[in-house]
Amino acid sequence: MQHAFITGGGRGIGLACARTLLAQGINVTIAGRDLETLEGAAAALAEETGKAGVAICVLDVTDEAGVHQAIAEAAQLLGPITILLNNAGQARPAPFAKTTAAHWQQMLDVNLTGAFHCTQAVLPQMLDAGWGRIINIASTAGLKGYKYVSAYVAAKHGLVGLTKALALELATRNITVNAVCPGYTETDIVQDAIANIMQKTGRSEEQARAELAAANPQQKLVQVEEVANAVAWLCQPASGAITGQSIAVAGGEVM
């Protein structure tokens, strides 16, 4: 039985991925910082899927010692972790000239270093099992630039670079490493972006949403289920030849 550990698993893309993987018979641990959110998500998953193989884990991915402890405990509960979804992320806008060192460091810590901590903690379990899937939820911001989020863009580019380097290191170990790069997706991060546009420009919610959707040639926001389907495909045993890739789920925004 495979065991997937999903950071940022209580909502949005992480929760959608948990739902999809559970439906495929994979045990899932959803991790995040808020216990109440995780408990609600786990209850919803159990009711929706009828699956018992879901656990929760309160975790801050920037806490190295806490990450190692949480992943060890998750393995004891549901078995060795063979699928890691580094999904926890945070985006805060600021013009570059007003980006403080603390802001810059926070974006790196959450979006890049957190994935480093989790991957280092999980990797020995995958090596022992002789099989693994590491999937980093990056962003189209890891493939191109966006204004006013330079720290976020830099962190996501770093995550794509980590994906490529680690894929080569593990190419002969039956462990694949890939990045999934969503465009603007119907998540809390995008809701925050919409609110920021409304505040800064005085536009309506509909106008702000349309502005973000305009970046997508399909003229729509990506849905979390569309991202989850890409993740689920990469988790399949038959996807073993796919590694080191950064797959855009963005309606053609990046080609």
One domain for residues 125 and 207: no
Q: What pLDDT is stored for residue 142 in this prediction?
A: 98
Beta sheet of 3-7, edge-to-edge order:
54-58, 27-32, 3-7, 83-86, 132-137, 175-182, 246-249
Q: What pLDDT is stored for residue 161 in this prediction?
A: 98
255 occurs within a structural domain: no
- Tell how far CA 68 is from the center of its chain: 18
- Average pLDDT value for the chain: 94
Dist CA 106 CA 95 (whole Å): 16
One domain for residues 112 and 237: yes
Structure tokens at 56: 């929760």
Count up the domains in the chain and report the number.
2
Q: What pLDDT is stored for residue 214 in this prediction?
A: 86
Q: What pLDDT is stored for residue 19 in this prediction?
A: 95
Comparing C-alpha atoms, which of 168, 65, 171, 74 is closest to residue 120?
A: 65
Q: DSSP string covering 193-207, please?
A: HHHHHHHHH---HHH
Q: Is the pLDDT of residue 188 over 80?
A: no
Domain range enclosing 209: 184-221
One domain for residues 179 and 197: no
One domain for residues 214 and 116: no
Task: Kindly list the catalytic residues.
Answer: 152
One domain for residues 213 and 169: no
Q: Is the pLDDT of residue 51 over 90?
A: no
105 occurs within a structural domain: yes
Sorted by sequence, the CB contacts under 8 Å of residue 175 that are 6+ apart come out as 123, 126, 127, 131, 132, 133, 134
Burial class (CB in 10 A: 0-12, 13-18, 19+), 252: exposed
145 occurs within a structural domain: yes
One domain for residues 72 and 156: yes
Q: What is the CATH number of the domain that holds 125?
A: 3.40.50.720
One domain for residues 72 and 43: yes
Which of 15-24, 43-52, 150-159, 216-225 is the least confident region?
43-52
H/E stretch holding 58: strand 54-58
Structure tokens at 205: 């919610």
Q: What pLDDT is stored for residue 40 in this prediction?
A: 95
26 occurs within a structural domain: yes
Burial class (CB in 10 A: 0-12, 13-18, 19+), 181: buried
pLDDT in tens, 87-134: 999 999 999 999 999 999 999 999 999 999 999 999 999 999 999 999
Q: Is the pLDDT of residue 198 over 90?
A: no
253 occurs within a structural domain: no
One domain for residues 125 and 203: no
Query: Looking at residues 10-15, what average pLDDT do you find?
Result: 96
Dist CA 202 CA 206 (whole Å): 12
One domain for residues 192 and 157: no
pLDDT in tens, 77-91: 999 999 999 999 999
Regarding pTM above 0.85, the answer is: yes
254 occurs within a structural domain: no
46 occurs within a structural domain: yes
